[in-house]
Structure 1
Amino acid sequence: MNKFTALIFLFLVVQLATKESPIKHIVVLMMENRSFDHMLGWMTLGGQYGNKNVTGLTGNECNFSLNGTKICVQPNAQDCSAYDPGHGPQTTTERIFNCEYKSQDSKSDNPCVNHSSLKQQPNMQGFVAAAQRGGADGLTEMSSFLPQDIPILSTLANEFALFDHYFVSYPGCTNPNRMFVHMGTCDGCVANEQERGQIKNTTLQEVLENNGLSWKYYYEDDPVEWFLWIEYFNQNFNNTAKVAQMEQFYTDAQNGNLANYTFINPTETVRPNMNNTRSFGLPNDQHPDHSVKEGERLMKNVYEALRNGPKWNETLFIITYDEHGGFYDHVPPPQEGVPNPDGKVNAEGFNFDRLGIRVPTIVISPWIEKGLLIKEPQQQQKPFNTSQFEHSSIISTVMKIFNLEYNFSKRTEWAATFDDIINRTSPRTDCPTQLAYIPPPTNFEIARIYSRNVKPTVVSKVKRMCKEFKPNDPNCGKNIKTFRDYASFLEIEMKHLPS
């Protein structure tokens, strides 16, 4: 290489390194509690909605019941599942390692006891047995959807970038995994019981704001349940420029008023706006035993709002799921090299050094090639040889796109990034402007949900909301028995929330 050629090469390298990203707006929609195989495993069948190259199902994936009966995957998932499979940290470990959880005092190499990441490799054979120990039959855990059953998710997977090796950050439940996407750590938390303002860690949103970038958080349900346990969000709760109800998102998208970073929370309960044809007042988070169809409706609405808005050519839209929800997946979560984010260890000895079960993740932009299938991270995406795609990857990728640096945790330093898939020289013009029609719920479907008795978790939610918003009203939430009662309660309570 002569001197002139070397200078040209150096110039091109510098130009490439400093090239400004076309992405100015990043939108994250985090759904609830579905594994990859459960939702997209049958894309392997091909056809209109399929992709035979996906690491998915063959039909030969099976678990054994406690009495030795073989139970295999079946494409028979219901829109509203028969029950909510177990997905806490103990039962998730049971499912991954096919072991039985015992107390911390038990003397054993059983990974369900000592949380070892090294003494036993995950075999993904414990889903049915864990379900049966919890009183279920295990059939729901092994159920799955055909691609045509979920046309919105399947279409987006084929139109844009589908990740089939994206894992959750923590092998357990909702809130710790949602913390990872906001902070790159769960601060040692392993359950969903956090108090308002309890978590003090620096968030991605705080770093963006400190660097002159905007963020906004949209929700439809109880804000305390979803994010106010993080102190930074708690401080900004009454700032309607940063925290707003979901209907405002559609207005902002239509008017080109998107923040640099947007996070959308679906709802886990009924809501008073039954006449809203975007949501019909029904749960749309896809958490079992909620309707998958209503979650599809939410994805369709958000995508079409972005696609037909003036900022489409500057937008990156990420759809992912917080955790697997107890449903079967055949790909063992990685363990090698997974760093503890901040040195914290929970009371039972879990070191936060292995990932949770694989979930569907789709990254959407006109700057992404159609039908891109992302498998394990390539070398240019890996800060370390063992790096994987997980929830902390969202933080790391956002920081790279906006050319920012901040040390959130060892996990964000380690997580693989995916900014390099935004690599077209010009935006696509053939991205669909409208996705498949999702029929409205029937009166029977609505009545069935509204007439159901509320779960204990909803009772706890009501008590907490009363404590937060009506601390001096001793009768607050006393007569809530059905979801219709709860919807009426929210209609009053929502008046106190940002809109």
Structure 2
Amino acid sequence: MRSIGHKRAALAAASVAAVAATVFGVANLGTSANAAPKADNSAKTATPIKHVVVIYDENNSFDHYFGTYPHAANTDGTTFTAKAGTPIPNNYISHPDLLTNNPNAFNPQRLDAAHALTCDQSHSYGSEQKAFDGGLMDRFVEETETSSCSPSTLYGTDGIVMDYYDGNTVTALWTLAQNYAMSDNSFSTGFGPSTPGALNLVSGNTSGALSVNSVTGVPTSTTTTTVTSDPDPFYDDCADSNHTKTGNLTKMTGKNIGDLLNSRGVSWGWFEDGFTPTTTAADSPTGYAVCGAMVPITAENANFPLGAYVPHHAPFAYYESTSNPHHLLPASLDEVGHDGQANHNYDVSYFYQALAADKLPAVSFVKAAAAQDGHPGSSNPVDEQISLVKEINAIEASPAWADTAIVIAYDDSDGWYDHVAATITNGSAASGNSAICTNAATLDIGGQVNRCGPGPRQPLLVISPYAKKNFIDHTLTTQSSILKFIEDNWNTGRVGGVSADATSGDLDNMFDFKAPPGQAMRLTLAANGTVASESKVHGNGNGNRKN
């Protein structure tokens, strides 16, 4: 579910502006200029990795993108030929019967680039569980499929939820998997859509949520709940069409990785396309900033232009301590990654500026514009590749590349078919959960309900000079494994409470931290996702850069 457009209701400007000022106050605008500067511990790491960049794309299962990896049909699109000795993951190539005798109502069929823009499938907390059918993985057509939708440019057909792309369409991802490391055993931390996936990335926890009236800012209850859907964040002017809708917003209690990095003195930032407001809070008659930036118009989205910024994709806006409600810009490029009025939340343009100026924060989270994040129904793998190629090329061309680890991961599966179910390690006995969750050996850890997981399997790639080459990792990991890697690398400690960070699997097996300095390569991807050029990196392992 995503917001399309930013209409403003006819509210009294003065009163709404007063509400905005009262609701957000000044606590969220960054550290006081009079505060003593913190020691910068960004370079103090447990591994040679001094920079982590998490590219968090949208709504795809592993089999949907890698079902026939490394074998592409090569009947259309960009030709893909696997390197000799490429390992085969747990997919349709290693289980060919899934293509011809699938337990679901339809067999998987190949999608090509001409059918890149598809209907958004159902991917709610409950429907995904039902599709799993106790681990039989045989009810996706009945429970998560959307076979028709509008506008007519969106492709749908009976059985589409089962279908997959290959390297002729998702070429960049397949190329990166050939040259770096990929997991075939990584899952969402829990079932459900984008917001739970975003929260599990930064805190490993979807419980501790408070519902708040969008217009008045008054909590609707004093009892915390668990986030299982896609409510907009409370600490965001652009949420719920600038707080004009009658629905409720959500704010989270507890800590996240931003808090831990701040305490440790480690630079970090969330960079999302469209974050810079088109009307500032100071210039807005309502007192709320307006996020009116539109995504680039392509043939795929010409019939339904989208706002670039999606509030419920921005996890740090759910927490008062790490939010930038008015979308204030950093005072200078030197502020990026550090305390200041932007409070670690920026437009993606600042990510590219920081890269070019050799000022990349130690930890960066990057979110593409709505039409380029891979989300079915509004984005697609062809447009997603545009942003991926731009992001990867910019990072690999930068001075930071020599000691950087890029993690490409997804916030949810969109309900697309995948044939693998992980053993549930945190079930839930609450009403509305299905047998795969209610029958788990462990239920409702810490007394927090509706956090059943792991959920669906999704792609996860590590791109780094220290990543193992053409390697497939089988370690069971989740979205919160990324959080755990950051915690361990910068010695921040754990989020604590019922966070999944401590119990999540490690990403370490995807790396070779003993790789000889100077032996790493720098790839440049062509627009079609193939390798345009390759050169040796010089100065691998620079641990002296200050960010």
Equivalent residues in 2 for 1:260-275, closer than 5 Å? 260-268=362-370
Kindly state the Cα deviation for residue 71 of structure 1 after the two structures are TM-superposed: 1.2
Partner of 1:43: helix, strand, or coil?
coil
Equivalent residues in 2 for 1:442-481, closer than 5 Å? none
Kindly state the Cα deviation for residue 354 of structure 1 after the two structures are TM-superposed: 2.2
Kindly state the Cα deviation for residue 233 of structure 1 after the two structures are TM-superposed: 2.9
After superposition, what is the alpha-carbon deviation per residue over 1:420-455, rounded to whole angstroms, capped at 9, x for unaligned? 52423324645343113239xxxxxxxxxxxxxxxx
Q: Does 1:287 align with 2:340?
A: no
Q: Does 1:332 align with 2:421?
A: yes
Instruction: State the Cα RMSD in Å.
Output: 2.7
Is the Cα contact below 8 Å between 2:54 and 2:365 reproduced in 1?
Answer: yes
Structure 2 unmatched ranges of 5 or more: 1-43, 73-79, 149-155, 208-225, 236-250, 275-308, 331-335, 337-343, 428-441, 530-547
Is the Cα contact below 8 Å between 1:49 and 1:148 reproduced in 2?
Answer: no
Is the Cα contact below 8 Å between 1:73 and 1:144 reproduced in 2?
Answer: yes
2:89 paired residue number: 54
Structure 1 unmatched ranges of 5 or more: 1-17, 98-120, 269-282, 378-387, 440-499
2:481 paired residue number: 393
Provide the C-alpha distance between the structure 2 equivalents of 1:169 and 1:239, rounded to a whole number of angstroms.
32
Provide the C-alpha distance between the structure 2 equivalents of 1:212 and 1:181, rounded to a whole number of angstroms.
20
Partner of 1:250: helix, strand, or coil?
helix
Kindly state the Cα deviation for residue 216 of structure 1 after the two structures are TM-superposed: 1.0
Partner of 1:61: helix, strand, or coil?
helix
> What amino acid maps onto 1:124 in structure 2?
M
Provide the C-alpha distance between the structure 2 equivalents of 1:353 and 1:91, rounded to a whole number of angstroms.
13
After superposition, what is the alpha-carbon deviation per residue over 1:54-104, rounded to whole angstroms, capped at 9, x for unaligned? 111144326999xx994111122555333111111121112111xxxxxxx
* Inter-CA distance 404–229: structure 2 relative to 1 (3 Å threshold): closer
Provide the C-alpha distance between the structure 2 equivalents of 1:133 and 1:298, rounded to a whole number of angstroms.
26
* Inter-CA distance 71–368: structure 2 relative to 1 (3 Å threshold): same
* Inter-CA distance 320–19: structure 2 relative to 1 (3 Å threshold): closer
> What amino acid maps onto 1:405 in structure 2?
G
* Inter-CA distance 131–177: structure 2 relative to 1 (3 Å threshold): closer
Equivalent residue for 1:127, pick from 140, 143, 147:
140
Q: Does 1:150 align with 2:160?
A: no
Is the Cα contact below 8 Å between 2:181 and 2:469 reproduced in 1?
Answer: yes
Partner of 1:94: helix, strand, or coil?
helix
Provide the C-alpha distance between the structure 1 equivalents of 2:467 and 2:91, rounded to a whole number of angstroms.
23
2:160 paired residue number: 140
Is the Cα contact below 8 Å between 2:112 and 2:168 reproduced in 1?
Answer: no
Provide the C-alpha distance between the structure 2 equivalents of 1:407 and 1:131, rounded to a whole number of angstroms.
33
* Inter-CA distance 41–427: structure 2 relative to 1 (3 Å threshold): farther
Is the Cα contact below 8 Å between 1:40 and 1:145 reproduced in 2?
Answer: yes
Is the Cα contact below 8 Å between 2:119 and 2:147 reproduced in 1?
Answer: no
Equivalent residues in 2 for 1:371-410, closer than 5 Å? 371-375=470-474, 377=475, 388-408=476-496, 409-410=498-499
Partner of 1:316: helix, strand, or coil?
strand
1:93 paired residue number: 129
* Inter-CA distance 391–327: structure 2 relative to 1 (3 Å threshold): same
* Inter-CA distance 225–353: structure 2 relative to 1 (3 Å threshold): closer
* Inter-CA distance 124–422: structure 2 relative to 1 (3 Å threshold): same
Partner of 1:210: helix, strand, or coil?
helix
1:365 paired residue number: 464
Provide the C-alpha distance between the structure 2 equivalents of 1:85 and 1:148, rounded to a whole number of angstroms.
22
Partner of 2:515: helix, strand, or coil?
coil
2:57 paired residue number: 31
1:312 paired residue number: 401
* Inter-CA distance 146–213: structure 2 relative to 1 (3 Å threshold): same
* Inter-CA distance 209–404: structure 2 relative to 1 (3 Å threshold): same
Equivalent residue for 2:227, pick from 179, 189, 212:
189
Percent of residue pairs identical: 20
Q: Does 1:251 align with 2:353?
A: yes
* Inter-CA distance 300–233: structure 2 relative to 1 (3 Å threshold): same
Is the Cα contact below 8 Å between 1:71 and 1:139 reproduced in 2?
Answer: yes
Q: Does 1:81 align with 2:121?
A: no
After superposition, what is the alpha-carbon deviation per residue over 1:285-323, rounded to whole angstroms, capped at 9, x for unaligned? 110022211111111111111111011111111000111
Partner of 1:177: helix, strand, or coil?
helix
Provide the C-alpha distance between the structure 1 equivalents of 2:488 and 2:403, rounded to a whole number of angstroms.
16
Kindly indicate which of the two structures has a greater share of residues assigned to helix.
1
Kindly state the Cα deviation for residue 49 of structure 1 after the two structures are TM-superposed: 3.8
Equivalent residue for 2:447, pick from 334, 338, 343:
343
Provide the C-alpha distance between the structure 2 equivalents of 1:148 and 1:41, rounded to a whole number of angstroms.
13
Kindly state the Cα deviation for residue 239 of structure 1 after the two structures are TM-superposed: 5.8
1:470 paired residue number: none
* Inter-CA distance 85–211: structure 2 relative to 1 (3 Å threshold): same
2:7 paired residue number: none
What is the TM-score when the length of structure 1 is the normalising length? 0.68
Q: Does 1:43 align with 2:43?
A: no
Number of residue pairs the alignment of both structures matches: 367
What is the TM-score when the length of structure 2 is the normalising length? 0.62
> What amino acid maps onto 1:400 in structure 2?
D
* Inter-CA distance 417–428: structure 2 relative to 1 (3 Å threshold): farther
1:224 paired residue number: 311
Provide the C-alpha distance between the structure 1 equivalents of 2:55 and 2:347, rounded to a whole number of angstroms.
14
Is the Cα contact below 8 Å between 2:269 and 2:363 reproduced in 1?
Answer: yes
Kindly state the Cα deviation for residue 403 of structure 1 after the two structures are TM-superposed: 2.4
Provide the C-alpha distance between the structure 2 equivalents of 1:206 and 1:407, rounded to a whole number of angstroms.
9
Provide the C-alpha distance between the structure 2 equivalents of 1:341 and 1:184, rounded to a whole number of angstroms.
13
Q: Does 1:204 align with 2:257?
A: yes
